[in-house]
Amino acid sequence: MSLHLHNGICIFFTGLSGAGKSTIAVALDHALQTRGKKTTLLDGDVVRTHLSSELGFSREHRDLNIHRIGFVAAEVVKHGGIAISAAIAPYDSARRQARALVESNAVDEGRFLLVYLSTPLAACEARDVKGLYAKARRGEVAAFTGISDPYEIPTDADLVIDTSQVTVDEAVNAILAKINAVT
């Protein structure tokens, strides 16, 4: 699919652990780069290693983490780049704040796409990529999103994708089509 994107945009994923955020984000990153676009990938685990290493998983720290991601994404978009965020981002207000930051910096409308990966908890838990669901069920991980910590389902998602129902390529194509539709 060709892309007629000019200026910056932020693709902001949200969803449970194991919903497919990193997987789809990496595939989208690759798809955009092969179309000559400059991308900045803000993966949740990488951000927590390099930008938010002192933060834990309280609501306050989760919100601060998303605020930092929103700030970086807004800078990237301001300079015409493409920012891809792949963090759980469980709280509605923090996601809206990130949207507001990016949109206030962007040159035109529709520069923040919230992509909700609605993959059901049961599917995420069955995948258990990092073995964290099993640990959370055993009580070995505190405040684990979907098990012992909240996830607020977005009511303002620009796109909803259940990765238990579609392939990675189909998900990426849906996002590219959405970018084309809004830009």
CB contact set of 166 (below 8 Å; sequence gap of 6+): 174
Give 75 or 166: the residue with its C-beta nearer to ligand ADP: 166
Give 105 or 145: the residue with its C-beta nearer to ligand ADP: 145
Give 167 or 180: the residue with its C-beta nearer to ligand ADP: 167
Residues that bind ligand ADP (CB under 6 A): 15, 17-24, 86, 127, 129, 163, 166-168, 171
Give 49 or 104: the residue with its C-beta nearer to ligand ADP: 49
Residue 129 CB, nearest approach to ligand ADP (Å): 4
Residue 7 CB, nearest approach to ligand ADP (Å): 27
Residue 80 CB, nearest approach to ligand ADP (Å): 27
Burial class of residue 116 in the structure, from the number of CB atoms within 10 Å of its CB (0-12 exposed, 13-18 middle, 19+ buried): buried
In the complex, which residue's CB is closest to ligand ADP? 20
Give 82 or 132: the residue with its C-beta nearer to ligand ADP: 132
Residue 96 CB, nearest approach to ligand ADP (Å): 20
CA distance 32 to 158: 19
User: Alpha helix (H) ranges present in 20-157?
Assistant: 21-34, 44-50, 59-78, 92-105, 121-127, 132-137
Residue 163 CB, nearest approach to ligand ADP (Å): 3
| 171 sits in which H/E element | helix 168-182
Tell me which DSSP letter residue 108 carries. Answer: S
Closest CA to 40 of 78, 67, 3: 78
